[in-house]
């Protein structure tokens, strides 16, 4: 069975400002790429973090059946949020340790729901490193 990878990124001109996100889904059998799919979108008034979140959400929501995949992101915000912070936020009723509402809670909840049916490995890579 091929391995599935989702390479995600989001960006914004100004923060907030117009922004976009992109995903490259790759299915590999060993080193051979057997299938690819590109996804993208954007918003007129958004933030970098919202675009990074939407890229990851879109990668997960586009998969029709439960899958094992690796999501590769250069966003420490997304990687740390989904693998560390989200558990506490959920316990605290979607509030931070300081009892403040979680920023981008709509997207964090959507990401939490989208990843629940998949077996996801999150990998952080340095952005713009070649």
Residue 95: which domain range?
3-124
| Residue 56: inside a domain | yes
Q: What stretch of H or E contains 41?
A: strand 32-46
Residue 12 contacts by C-beta under 8 Å, 6 or more apart in sequence? Answer: 18, 19, 20, 46, 47, 48, 51
For residue 42, being part of any structural domain is answered with yes
Distance, in Å, from the CA atom of 101 to the CA atom of 93, rounded to the nearest integer, reads 9
List the structure tokens of 76: 């420490």
Q: Is residue 130 part of a domain?
A: no
CATH number for the domain including 119? Answer: 3.30.420.10
In a domain, 26, yes or no: yes
pLDDT in tens, the chain (130 residues): 789 999 999 999 999 999 999 999 999 999 999 999 999 999 999 999 999 999 999 999 999 999 999 999 999 999 999 999 999 999 999 999 999 999 999 999 999 999 999 999 999 999 876 6
**71 φψ region: left (φ > 0), alpha (ψ -120 to 50), beta (else):** beta
Q: Is residue 129 part of a domain?
A: no
Number of domains the chain contains: 1
61, part of any domain = yes
């Amino acid at each position: 069975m091929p391995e599935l990878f989702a390479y995600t990124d989001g960006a914004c001109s100004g923060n907030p400002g117009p922004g976009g996100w992109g995903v490259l889904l790759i299915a590999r059998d060993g080193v051979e790429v057997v299938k690819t799919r590109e996804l993208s979108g954007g918003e007129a008034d958004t933030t970098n973090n919202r675009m990074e979140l939407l890229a990851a959400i879109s990668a997960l929501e586009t998969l029709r059946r439960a899958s094992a995949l690796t999501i590769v992101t250069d966003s420490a915000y997304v990687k740390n949020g989904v693998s560390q912070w989200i558990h506490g936020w959920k316990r605290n009723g979607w509030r931070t340790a300081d009892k403040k509402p979680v920023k981008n809670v709509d997207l964090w909840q959507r990401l939490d729901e989208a990843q629940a049916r998949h077996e996801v490995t999150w990998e952080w890579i340095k952005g713009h490193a070649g």
